[in-house]
Amino acid sequence: MTEQPGVSRRHLFISGGLVATAPLLGAARHAEDISAKQAAAGTATAAGNQAPVEPYLDGDEIQGNVLPGFMKPYMAVAALTIGDVASAKGWLTDVAPRITTLAEAMQSRAKVRAFRGLGAERRNRLGALPPGMNDVWLNIGLSSGGLKKLLSGGKHAGDLGLFVDQGFQRGLAARSSLLGDPTDPAADGHPANWVFGGPGREADVLLILAADDAEDGARVLAQVRADAVASGLTVRYEESGQKLDAVGKEHFGFQDGISQPGVRGRLAGLPGDFITPRTIDPSRLPDAWLYGLPGQYLVWPGEFVFGYPRSAADPLTPGQVNLPGPAWSKNGSYLVFRRLRQDVAGFRAFLAQSAETLSAQPGFEGVTPEWVGARLVGRWPSGAPVARLPYGDNPALGVDRLANNNFGFAADAADDPLAAGLKAGQWPEAKADPVGLTCPMSAHIRKVNAREAANDLGGRRASFSRRILRRSQLFGPALGESSGHDPANGNRGLLFACYQASIEDQFEFLCNGWMGSAKRPRSPGGFDMVIGQNGVPGDRRERSCTVFGRGAATATLTTMNDFVVPTGGGYFFSPSISALKEVLAG
Ligand code: N7H
């Protein structure tokens, strides 16, 4: 096979006979801008020679944190239990109009995107907001226990059983040991010790609020909380968190929120507007229709939102419509919330100690704590992928949205030809790394997203069906660099939230199938040392992983410490606006 200019082996590999490439190469040349390109793409048909036909998503029905995601600098959560059901229904009736929708969040998101851009201009505007922007947004989720209360005695009373997901039905506390959480009741991570969500302390309702301004956010949450309490609900838990810096580094010191699945679909009423912007020039790259940002595979929306097509064998063809619940669950999504405490001092000590031990071994001379951290995460602190920069960090790549996710593991990657007006920085291209010599198999980002590489479940499609929409925020103050007194006494971490169409197959599978397994998605590898947990009785929570130095020198890192400890949470369903009003409140 001869390579076409600008087309990487990765792309040719990916095409794999799934896309009618020849006609695509003859597709229209550059449009003036991406919007025009999107509009053109939207009118094309898969049966012709261009983009797949993507469904319109119901922008007034889907909650905005599902899609496109709130992504605000301030986030607060409140977990509530229902007292008197009739009063709670009254409160839901009042709260329903305050729930922010996909359409509302998308308008604001479009302004932020236009303001920050994607290339060099974005680097200078990171963290800045368009003038006048001051949103306060609210979304809601209900646990299976909450749904049971609200549905009981009504015409939908039997509908709870129609939610097929056993994780949702049973709840997070009941599934905790399956996720690898500590089973010793004395351990902090055991559900008995969670701040909420443990046995007998489960929440019926989870509110998620996001805002540009922390004070405004806190004020609105206080109002909503007061209304809820007046309607007989009890606040079980409440916490807020915010970004630590403009780039979005989490407590261990790595930029987070870089790689999200691109979601296929368009917004009703706004022709040409894809939920996920398209950035690759389809006239020059046959596989352009596979991606949003370079390297960001597009996934059919039924993997995340009920009532839409899921992935099929051909990534450009919609699969079956996925409605794993009652008819009124359409436009809903499962919400996982976990309060994850991070042992920052312990993580740093592990990196330092590992670097010292490794440096004494042939092939690892001179490795630093930062080098070890990058091998455990798969990215350097800036977010730059190890796959593109194996030897050292570069903050400019970390924030280059047109390059920082453009890599695979199975084959060499190359820079994609971008749509008119877009320009990525010049960075080394990622080399094929099928066995993890550069980015170890155990690296966090490789454990949770096998990308195009073969894995124990198959190939790319299996990865698509495991993806989640992450919507987390940090809690607690940063731990300073100097060791010594910690004013927060270790109380910092991630308010982890994610949306998906199956808790069992997505969130739970990532935890117990891949992060918490030494052998999957592919051996040899070891555990995800950052987040993975070893709950196997008798293993004493020991985790180890393999890293490679120069000349394929091999070393094993081992720890008995959990650097991330679950301290609360729950499984919820985020219904559509009409289901909230007509089925649950009504
Ligand atoms: Fe992870 N970390 O700081 O080390 N995560 N994560 N995560 N995570 C990612 O790509 C982190 C957690 C995913 O597509 C990055 O956005 C921490 C859970 C997925 O390439 C970093 C915690 C689950 C991705 C971290 C935590 C996931 C991802 C790289 C807990 C799922 C995208 C930045 C305290 C069950 C991977 C980025 C991709 C990326 C960290 C939790 C999943 C730096 C500290 C519980 C799917």
The mean per-residue pLDDT over the stretch 91-100 comes to 97
Predicted local confidence at residue 50, as pLDDT: 67
Atom of ligand 1 nearest to the CA of 257: 16
Distance 230 CA to ligand 1 centre (A): 38
pLDDT band for 386, please (50, 70, 90 cuts): very high
Distance 445 CA to ligand 1 centre (A): 6
Predicted local confidence at residue 270, as pLDDT: 64
Give the other-Cβ count within 10 Å of 81's Cβ: 20
| Side chain identity, residue 543 | R
Whether 301 contacts 265, CB under 8 Å:
yes
- Residue ID of nearest Cα to ligand 1 atom 36: 445
Q: What is the DSSP string of 369-397?
A: HHHHHHHHHSB-TTS-BTTT-SS---HHH
448 lines ligand 1 (CB under 6 A): yes
358 lines ligand 1 (CB under 6 A): no
249 lines ligand 1 (CB under 6 A): no
Predicted local confidence at residue 234, as pLDDT: 98
* pLDDT over 80 at 239, yes or no: yes
Whether 110 contacts 64, CB under 8 Å:
no
Which one-letter DSSP state was computed for residue 134? -
- Residue ID of nearest Cα to ligand 1 atom 15: 256
On the question of a cis peptide bond just before residue 521, with omega within 30 degrees of 0, the verdict is yes
Whether 389 contacts 428, CB under 8 Å:
yes
pLDDT band for 127, please (50, 70, 90 cuts): confident
- Residue ID of nearest Cα to ligand 1 atom 19: 448
pLDDT band for 384, please (50, 70, 90 cuts): very high
Predicted local confidence at residue 503, as pLDDT: 98
Distance 570 CA to ligand 1 centre (A): 19
Distance 246 CA to ligand 1 centre (A): 18
The mean per-residue pLDDT over the stretch 147-158 comes to 96
Distance 444 CA to ligand 1 centre (A): 7
Q: Which residues contact 546 (CB under 8 A, 6 or more apart)?
A: 436, 440, 441, 442, 524, 525, 526, 554, 555, 556
Predicted local confidence at residue 483, as pLDDT: 65
* pLDDT over 70 at 473, yes or no: yes
Predicted local confidence at residue 113, as pLDDT: 87
The mean per-residue pLDDT over the stretch 479-502 comes to 89
Whether 499 contacts 158, CB under 8 Å:
no
530 lines ligand 1 (CB under 6 A): yes
* pLDDT over 60 at 334, yes or no: yes
Predicted local confidence at residue 12, as pLDDT: 31
- Residue ID of nearest Cα to ligand 1 atom 13: 448
Strands 493-500, 473-475: parallel, antiparallel or unpaired by DSSP?
A: antiparallel
Atom of ligand 1 nearest to the CA of 564: 34
Average model confidence (pLDDT) across the chain = 89
507 lines ligand 1 (CB under 6 A): yes
531 lines ligand 1 (CB under 6 A): yes
The winner for highest mean pLDDT among 49-63, 111-125, 238-252 is 238-252
339 lines ligand 1 (CB under 6 A): no
Whether 254 contacts 379, CB under 8 Å:
yes
Distance 41 CA to ligand 1 centre (A): 32
- Residue ID of nearest Cα to ligand 1 atom 42: 448
Which one-letter DSSP state was computed for residue 51? P
User: Best substitution site from 339, 341, 351, 470 to test ligand 1's pocket, by max atoms within 8 Å of Cβ?
Assistant: 470
Predicted local confidence at residue 271, as pLDDT: 56
User: Best substitution site from 444, 452, 527 to test ligand 1's pocket, by max atoms within 8 Å of Cβ?
Assistant: 444
Q: Which SS3 state, helix, strand or coil, does residue 113 take?
A: helix
The winner for highest mean pLDDT among 190-204, 401-415, 525-539 is 190-204
Distance 399 CA to ligand 1 centre (A): 16
483-to-344, 346, 399, 479, 480 alpha-carbon distances in Å = 11, 11, 29, 9, 8
Of 89-103, 180-194, 326-340, 408-422, least confident by mean pLDDT is 408-422
